[in-house]
């Protein structure tokens, strides 16, 4: 696509994947300011990449927060890759709840494992799902992981595989046990928040200047998911992506704080190791968590995008 500006005639264009990604980033940026689109409108971009309303017949796409996919075609043609991208990410960027959205993602095997018995988890799913997680990082204000994931994987939590802003990286480390030499605590690549229990002492050596240390009251040695979420929002981080691991995602899910849960299932059988989700046992199927679910193919993986809200926006 040659341009996405307000002045150009869109009827002769074909919106491609790069153009669709620009639109989605603009929508996410707008949602982060608290000004998410909550009603139907055409969408155009100005020269700076900011989103603007327009008549549906002039829009690159038409935003439809009332639809499951969040959008429908506008004035220009849309290729298959762009359409898939919009279907997957537009619901995360529009609607009444998108300004304070909490989404979690896990990659697991067919038998529900996210790591081997040694904790090895790179990579359960394939490169398409890895790129997907980078896109999610770019669309959210903060990306959150637990201490075990930080320790075992030493991730960077950046958007290096896709164009997009770097989110604030958040590590939940109740006992302040992490080595300050871990990449996200030492590389200076993005603002980083290290959350520990009140009174915990960080290890000698010190973290980089890009790391803010925050202590919260603990509950039995753990940091309550609600307290973590409140602390992030107090810092203006309202759109939250919980990237892992399984224990961290499970705690947010159990606390009822997730709006959406995405699980990518790889065609692998590990046979033992760390389960994806760990929740209190239930006795009756009626007590299971019910979701509205969409499915997408990410290479050889299948992504289940589960809407956990009681009612659609």
* pLDDT tens by residue, 236-246: 999 999 998 89
d(CA 169, CA 211): 9
The label of the residue with tokens 């802003």 reads: 165
pLDDT tens track for 35-65:
889 999 999 888 888 888 899 989 999 999 9
User: Is CATH 3.40.430.10 the right assignment for the domain spanning 101-278+287-307?
Assistant: yes
Q: Where residue 6 falls among pLDDT bands split at 50, 70, 90?
A: very low
- Global confidence as pTM: 0.93
By C-alpha distance, which of 191, 140, 156, 167 is closest to 24?
A: 140
8 A C-beta contact, residue 40 and residue 104? no
- As a whole number, the mean pLDDT across the chain is 91
Query: According to the model, what pLDDT value does residue 12 have?
Result: 63
Number of C-beta neighbours around residue 256 at 10 A: 11
Q: Where are the domains of the chain?
A: 14-96, 101-278+287-307
């Amino acid at each position: 696509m040659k341009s996405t500006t307000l002045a150009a005639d869109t009827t002769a264009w074909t919106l491609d994947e790069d153009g669709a990604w620009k639109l989605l980033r603009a929508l996410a940026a707008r949602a982060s300011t608290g000004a998410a689109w909550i009603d139907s409108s055409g969408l155009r971009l100005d020269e700076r990449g900011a989103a603007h309303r327009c008549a549906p017949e002039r829009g690159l796409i038409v935003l439809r927060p009332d639809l499951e996919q969040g959008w429908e075609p506008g004035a220009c043609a849309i290729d298959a890759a762009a359409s898939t991208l919009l279907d997957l990410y537009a619901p995360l960027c529009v609607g009444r709840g998108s300004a304070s959205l909490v989404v979690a993602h896990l990659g697991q095997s067919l038998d529900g494992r996210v790591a081997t018995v040694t904790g090895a988890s790179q990579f359960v799913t394939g490169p398409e799902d890895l790129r997907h997680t980078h896109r999610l990082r770019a669309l959210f204000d903060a990306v959150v992981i637990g201490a075990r994931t930080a320790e075992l994987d030493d991730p960077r939590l950046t958007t290096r595989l896709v164009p997009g802003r770097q989110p604030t990286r958040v590590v939940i480390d109740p006992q302040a046990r992490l080595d300050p030499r871990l990449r996200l605590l030492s590389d200076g690549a993005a603002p980083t928040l290290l959350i520990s229990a009140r009174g915990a002492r960080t290890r000698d050596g010190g973290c980089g200047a890009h790391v803010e240390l925050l202590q919260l009251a603990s509950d039995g040695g753990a940091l309550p998911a609600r307290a973590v979420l409140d602390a992030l929002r107090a810092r203006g981080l309202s759109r939250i992506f919980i990237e892992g691991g399984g224990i961290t995602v499970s705690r947010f899910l159990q606390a009822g704080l997730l709006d959406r849960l995405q699980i990518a299932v790889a065609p692998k059988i590990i046979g033992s190791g760390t389960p994806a989700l760990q929740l209190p046992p239930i006795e009756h199927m009626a007590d299971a968590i019910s979701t509205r679910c969409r499915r997408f193919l990410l290479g050889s993986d299948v992504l289940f995008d589960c809407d956990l809200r009681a009612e659609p926006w």
